[in-house]
């Protein structure tokens, strides 16, 4: 009888260990406003209309990279910011952002936290912007990418109204934090209050669009 009781206790303990993280995850979500409530569709459409007025510009040090009808060269340079309007599951449902780390690698924050991914958005995303920060050098952009890379393993930040924490990150917050903390450059346009939407990284006057799909 005692052995059976002990076995039951062990099974119950294992079940609790497996279930408790899910309860904590659900509780965390309930405490925060959803992305849909913060990044409203009407405001997002206004933001996208503003972005459509922006022209493509050459990348740093390459003033001949864009012809009048070109969409720009897909970014491979370390430190270039990538943004898509595509709706992706498990993250901000109205867009996503990342920073180029290497020719074939980006640093991004997904639902599982900060990680690396493939730099293939030109073929895996329906829409894509490549933007570079004004007022930084190529070396500084690379350092910003290194900063993002150093955050790997940190969890996803479901509280979109807290872009100030550095213990966890959502996608656009990660890029925003890199340039703010290192160079004092604030890429947030305040279109959604203190929350930082990926498309704000495109619309801000502090970046230039060097690629568009």
What confidence tens digit (pLDDT) does each residue in 88-101 have?
A: 776 777 899 999 99
Judge whether residue 17 has pLDDT over 50. Answer: no
Token pair of 187 as six digits: 């890429």
Residue percentage of the chain with pLDDT more than 70: 80
Alpha-carbon span 62 to 75, nearest angstrom: 12
Average pLDDT over residues 1-11: 53
Token pair of 205 as six digits: 């006057």
Alpha-carbon span 154 to 9, nearest angstrom: 33
Alpha-carbon span 132 to 43, nearest angstrom: 24
Judge whether residue 74 has pLDDT over 90. Answer: yes
Q: Output the pLDDT for position 94.
A: 82
Position with higher pLDDT, 173 vs 42: 173
pLDDT band at 35 (very low <50, low <70, confident <90, very high): confident
pLDDT tens-digit readout, 127-176: 999 999 999 999 999 999 999 999 999 999 999 999 999 999 999 999 99
Alpha-carbon span 27 to 169, nearest angstrom: 18
Q: Output the pLDDT for position 72.
A: 80
């Amino acid at each position: 009888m005692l052995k059976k009781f002990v076995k039951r206790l062990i099974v119950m303990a294992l079940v609790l260990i497996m279930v408790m993280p899910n309860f904590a995850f659900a509780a965390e979500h309930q405490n925060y406003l959803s992305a849909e409530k913060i990044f409203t569709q009407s405001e997002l459409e206004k933001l996208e209309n503003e972005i459509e007025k922006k022209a493509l510009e050459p990348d740093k040090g390459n003033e001949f990279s864009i012809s009048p009808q070109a969409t720009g060269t897909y970014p491979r340079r370390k430190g270039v910011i990538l943004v898509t309007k595509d709706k992706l599951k498990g993250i901000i449902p109205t867009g996503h952002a990342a920073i180029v780390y290497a020719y074939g690698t980006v640093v991004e924050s997904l639902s599982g936290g900060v990680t690396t991914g493939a730099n293939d958005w030109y073929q895996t995303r329906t829409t894509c912007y490549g933007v570079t920060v004004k007022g930084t050098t190529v070396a500084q952009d690379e350092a910003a990418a290194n900063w993002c890379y150093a955050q790997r393993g940190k969890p996803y930040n479901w509280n979109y109204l807290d872009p100030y924490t550095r213990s966890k990150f959502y996608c656009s917050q990660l890029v925003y934090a890199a340039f703010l903390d290192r160079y004092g450059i604030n890429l947030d346009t305040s279109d959604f209050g203190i929350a930082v939407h990926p498309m704000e990284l495109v619309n801000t006057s502090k970046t230039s669009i060097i690629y568009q799909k």
